[in-house]
């Protein structure tokens, strides 16, 4: 499918059918996150988007965000005993940012368990980074209420294990796009431009390829990602490598 080809959306009737589709068993998700709920209603609520009805997951998301920050902060302090507060804060931010949480949610197949309204289903809401990240935080909050801090810590470690393993307290404080912009400004060069070179995949699983161009230097690099923003960051990172920056 070419980038210019339009992708049809489900009809209202189709969206209604999808919204009331048979969801996988919650026990499958419990195994994936490593916690069996004494009160399954908490997990159901964590998976319920506002568009579906009440009780929805926004309060659990708020709670889960706080629990997540505490668990990650404690783990980073344990792993990096000599790092400064600023370094630890940057490492934590890289782990709990929306895109990183959405990636972890996809790894456990969370989208298949979400309960969404017709409009969200029609617009592929189950694959949206914000929806996935919010739902994962809500699952953390539900786990905390169901089993306490230790249970929440176990689930967070299981879901974010790879991100915690890859954490680097000495990593640069700024993202690739910001670094590239500041590098070019320091050299009195014009800022880069970004354009979507192509998109591929179904509407709910699109992959973007973005090209970052510095015309003044006749340099270009591309990057791919599940969102345009993620692809732009990777393209900027690749261009920085070309510049040796």
Active site residues: 65, 137
Q: How far is CA 50 from CA 57, 143, 191, 238, in A?
A: 7, 19, 40, 38
Alpha-carbon span 244 to 29, nearest angstrom: 44
Q: How big is the CA angle at 66 (ends 19 and 87), to the nearest 5 degrees?
A: 120
> Is the backbone peptide bond immediately before 201 cis, with ω within 30 degrees of 0?
no
Q: Estimate to the nearest angstrom the gap between the alpha carbon of 11 and the chain centroid.
A: 28
Give the contacts of 216 (CB within 8 A, at least 6 positions apart). 189, 190
Alpha-carbon span 33 to 139, nearest angstrom: 9
Residue with tokens 């990172």: 237
Alpha-carbon span 25 to 156, nearest angstrom: 21
**Which residue stretches of the chain are H helix?**
12-19, 26-33, 40-46, 58-79, 85-96, 98-107, 118-122, 129-147, 149-159, 161-165, 176-186, 228-243
Alpha-carbon span 173 to 200, nearest angstrom: 32
């Amino acid at each position: 499918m070419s980038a210019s080809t339009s992708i049809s959306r489900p009809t209202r009737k189709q969206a209604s059918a999808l919204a009331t589709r048979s969801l996988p068993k919650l026990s499958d998700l419990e195994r994936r996150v490593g916690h069996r709920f004494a009160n399954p209603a908490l997990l159901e609520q964590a998976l319920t988007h506002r568009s579906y009805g009440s009780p929805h997951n926004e309060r659990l998301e708020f709670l889960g965000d706080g629990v997540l920050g505490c668990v990650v902060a404690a783990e980073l302090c344990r792993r990096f005993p000599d790092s400064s507060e600023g370094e630890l804060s940057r490492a934590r931010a890289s782990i709990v940012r929306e895109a990183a949480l959405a990636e972890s949610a996809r790894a456990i197949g969370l989208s298949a368990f979400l309960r969404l309204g017709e409009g969200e289903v029609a617009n592929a809401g189950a694959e949206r980074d914000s929806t996935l990240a919010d739902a994962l935080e809500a699952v953390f909050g539900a786990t905390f209420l169901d089993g306490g801090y230790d249970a929440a810590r176990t689930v967070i470690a299981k879901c974010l294990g790879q991100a915690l393993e890859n954490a680097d307290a000495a990593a640069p404080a700024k993202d690739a796009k910001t670094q590239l912009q500041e590098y070019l400004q320091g050299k009195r060069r014009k800022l880069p431009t970004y354009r979507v070179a192509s998109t591929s995949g179904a509407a709910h699983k699109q992959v973007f390829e973005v090209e970052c161009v510095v015309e003044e230097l006749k340099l270009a690099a591309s990057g791919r990602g599940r969102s345009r923003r993620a692809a732009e960051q990777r393209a900027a990172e690749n261009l920085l490598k070309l510049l040796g920056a």
